[in-house]
Amino acid sequence: MATNSSPPEPSADKLADRLFHDMIGALELFTVYLGERLGLYRALDRDGPATSAELAGRTGTAERYIREWLEHHAASGLLEVDDPAAGPLARRYRLPAAHVPVLADPDDIRYQAFNGVEIVRAGRWMAPLVEAFRTGDAPPALPWAPEGRAEYNRAVFLNLLGTQWLPAIPDVDQRLRREPPARVADLACGAGWSSIAMAQAYPKVRVDGFDLDPDVIAAASRNAGQAGVSGRVTFAVTDASGPGISGRFDLVTIFEGLHDMSRPVDALRAARGLLAPSGSVLIADELVADVFTAPASDLERYHYGWSVVACLPAAMGDPGTAATGAVMRPATLGRYAREAGFRNVEVLPLQTQTWRFYRLIP
C-alpha cells in the first residue's frame, strides 16, 4: 500500500485524464493570448460589460470570432455572463473585478496574461527544437516579431525591486542612496525593467544595462525613454561573459539571466572585475530545490518545463557552453562563483514565489 511519502501508483486512466486537462489549460492559454493581443480584457475592464457585437466594435474585431471567444471564456470561468439562457447575440459578458489584476492590468504583480504570449512564442520554437535535440545545436534564434517578448518580470521589478528587494539589503540600499552617485551594471537586462526600476527608486544612480539580444535592447531603450529615465539609464548590446563592459560599478545585478548564459563562469569573473571597492554582485535566479527529486513540486516542474523548451536550448549554440538550464541549483551557482574567483555565496533571506536571491562575496 502506498504511504504518504511514496509516489502514487502509475495509472493509464489517470495519466490520460491528466493530459486531457493539460490540453484544456494549453487551449486556455492560447485564448488568453488572443485576449491580451487584441486588447479584449482591457476593453472589458475600461468600458464595462459587453455583448459580442459591442466588444467587437470596441476592439476593431470580427463579431463571430469574438462571440466564440466570449462563450469559451464564460464557459471556462474567466468571464461572467449576465444571462446564459439569453440568445447568443444578446448575452452580455463581464470581466469580474477579481480577474482584472490577473488579465487586464500589466502594472499589477498578479498580472499573468503574459503567459499566453509566452506559450505562443515558445510554441514557435518547437519544430526547430526537435531538430536541435538530434543535432545538439541551438535552434535558430526566434525573431522578435510578431510577439516581441512577453514582459513577465515587468510588474514585479517596477513594484518590488526598489521598494522591497534592494531595501532588504541595507548596505546596498544605503550605497545606492549616497553620494557620489552609485553606478549599477544590470547584466542580461532584457527589456530593461529592472534597470528602470532601480533608476526610479534611487534618483541618484546611473544604470548601464547589457544584453546579447539587439531587439530586446532596442525595446529597453524605448521603455527607458517612456519611463523618463533615459538620462540615467543606458543600454548596450553586449555579451556579459566577454570583455565588452568597462567601468567600476557599486552594484552588478543579474536577474533571471545567469542560467541563460552559455558561459556563466566567464560572466561572473567579468562581473567581479567590474566591482568598485565594496561593490556587490546580486543575482536572482530560479527558486529550485537543492537536489533533484522526482516527482517534484509544481514549481520545480514549471522551471524544468521552461528549461526544456527555452532556457537550455538558448545556451546550446556555443561549443564551450556550460549548458546549465533553468534548474540551476544553489550548489551549481556556488561552484560557478568559486570558479570565477568569489570567496563565498550568501543566499539572502529574501525570496519571491519563483526566485532565490544570492549575493556573491568577492
C-alpha dihedral over 181, 185, 190, 193, to 10 degrees? -20
User: Among residues 33, 114, 210, 336, which is the contact residue for ligand SAM, using CB under 6 A?
Assistant: 210
Site for ligand SAM in 130-159 (CB under 6 A): 153
User: Among residues 51, 223, 241, 307, which is the contact residue for ligand SAM, using CB under 6 A?
Assistant: 241
Taking CB atoms, the residue at the shortest distance from ligand SAM is 190
Q: Does 286 bind ligand SAM (CB under 6 A)?
A: no
Q: Shortest gap between Cβ of 328 and ligand SAM (angstroms)? A: 12
Q: Does 189 bind ligand SAM (CB under 6 A)?
A: yes
Q: Shortest gap between Cβ of 139 and ligand SAM (angstroms)? A: 15
Q: Shortest gap between Cβ of 172 and ligand SAM (angstroms)? A: 18
Q: How far apart, in whole angstroms, are the C-alpha atoms of residue 152 and residue 145? A: 17
* Of residues 235 and 255, the one with the C-beta less far from ligand SAM: 255
Element (H, E) at 345: strand 344-351
Tell the residue number behind the cell numbers 551549481, with chain if given: 332
145: left (phi over 0), alpha (psi -120 to 50) or beta: beta
Q: Does 55 bind ligand SAM (CB under 6 A)?
A: no
* Of residues 45 and 260, the one with the C-beta less far from ligand SAM: 260
353 in Cβ contact with 284 (< 8 Å): no
| Residue 49: half-sphere exposure toward Cβ, Cα within 13 Å | 13
Q: Does 240 bind ligand SAM (CB under 6 A)?
A: yes
Amino acid identity, residue 203? P
Instruction: List the x/- string, 251-280, binding to ligand SAM by CB under 6 A.
Output: ----xxx--xx-----x-------------
How many residues form the binding site for ligand SAM (CB under 6 A)?
20
User: Among residues 216, 233, 328, 333, which is the contact residue for ligand SAM, using CB under 6 A?
Assistant: 216
Q: How far apart, in whole angstroms, are the C-alpha atoms of residue 56 and residue 65? A: 9
Q: Is 276 helix (H, G, I), strand (E, B) or coil?
A: strand
Q: Give the three cell numbers for residue 2.
A: 502506498
Q: Does 213 bind ligand SAM (CB under 6 A)?
A: yes
Q: Shortest gap between Cβ of 200 and ligand SAM (angstroms)? A: 16
Other beta carbons within 10 Å of 298: 7
Site for ligand SAM in 158-187 (CB under 6 A): 187
Q: Does 211 bind ligand SAM (CB under 6 A)?
A: yes
DSSP 202-258: STT-EEEEEES-HHHHHHHHHHHHHHT-TTTEEEEE--TTSS---S-EEEEEEES-G
Q: How far apart, in whole angstroms, are the C-alpha atoms of residue 18 and residue 13? A: 9
Q: Shortest gap between Cβ of 125 and ligand SAM (angstroms)? A: 14
Q: Which stretches of the chain bind ligand SAM, using CB under 6 A?
A: 153, 187-190, 194, 210-213, 216, 239-241, 255-257, 260-261, 267
